[in-house]
Amino acid sequence: MKADQSLDCVGLYCPMPIVKTAERIKQLKQGEVLEVVADDKGIKLDMSAWCEATGHEFLGVEEEDNEIKVYVKKAHQ
Amino acid sequence: MVDKEKLTIAVLSGDLERALSAFMLATTGAAMGMEVNMFFTFWGLNIIKRNEGGIKSKGLMRKMLNLMNRGGSKRLKLSRFNMFGLGTWMMKRLMKDINMPSIDEFITMAHQMGVKLIACTTTCGVMGLLPEKDTFRSEVDSLTGAAYFLGEARQSKVTLFI
């Protein structure tokens, strides 16, 4: 999936990927996509829950070996 | 999202693992756009006590209590498997291995994310502490009582007691 910005969270566990995502999403423009790369499996459900709470759009997950990429579209400022 | 949802956490325990869970939830709540209040009482006050010594108190019993129970984020122990500090030391090593923030880092992070840290004044008295800003680390926002906690809890979507 194509993303406007990428956030490296490899080696980080809950709650750091979510905390970092919340921080980074501020730098994106509305409609842009953020890719979060992580290796903690918890992120898949965590990120969709975060999107539901914050109103951003959860675009999906891509998994390759131990690397998990989740995609979030910034839905509002 | 119109009004911010509120998360209120009462932290009664000063055990390392409970303090960690409280801060994980607090920082995650803040990241999810919630307004977070953490209310520290009884042993929980140890988490936000200044790490450096010289915490003032009044009366012999309180001074003794303060001496035996120094507190401070760096001195928290596991509730089980502490094994005279060995278990806690090992757990802290493992936390570092997986890049988990320490309690100290969690407090700084929570503060920067707008989480409010509140000390309970009533229990300061029984824990041998003066209910003053100087007793606690600089990130602590205010000192107050049960009515404030309930006032916040009434308006909160989620209230936790840890």
Per domain, the residue ranges of chain B are 6-161
Mean pLDDT is lowest, of A46-60, A61-75, B58-72, B98-112, for B58-72
- Residue B118 and residue A61: Cα distance in Å, rounded? 39
Mean pLDDT across the stretch A10-36? 95
Q: Which of A11, A50, A55 sits opposite B31 (nearest CB)?
A: A50
CB under 8 Å to B35, separation ≥6 — which residues?
Answer: B4, B5, B6, B7, B114
Minimal C-alpha gap between A1 and chain B (Å)? 24
pLDDT for residue B2: 58
Question: Could you tell me whether strands A33-38 and A67-73 are parallel, antiparallel, or unpaired per DSSP bridges?
Answer: antiparallel
Residue B129 CB neighbour total at 10 angstroms = 25
Yes or no, beta carbons of A13 and B98 under 8 Å apart: yes
Mean pLDDT is lowest, of A27-36, A50-59, B50-59, B152-161, for B50-59
pLDDT for residue B13: 96
State the ipTM, two decimals. 0.86
Classify A41 as helix, strand or coil: coil
Q: What is the mean pLDDT of chain A?
A: 95
Determine the CATH number of domain B6-161: 3.40.1260.10
What are the average pLDDT values for consecutive 10-residue runs of chain B, which has 162 residues?
86 96 97 96 95 84 86 92 93 92 96 96 89 92 92 95 96
Best mutation target, A8, A18, A21, A26, to test chain B (most B CBs within 10 A): A18
Full residue range of the structural domain in which residue A22 is found: 5-73
The domain that holds A15 is classified in CATH as 3.30.110.40
pLDDT for residue A77: 87
- Residue B129 and residue B92: Cα distance in Å, rounded? 27
Minimal C-alpha gap between A11 and chain B (Å)? 6
Residue numbers in B near A22 (CB within 8 A): 30-33
Count: domains in chain A: 1
Whether the CA torsion A53, A57, A62, A66 is positive or negative: it is: negative
pLDDT for residue B7: 97
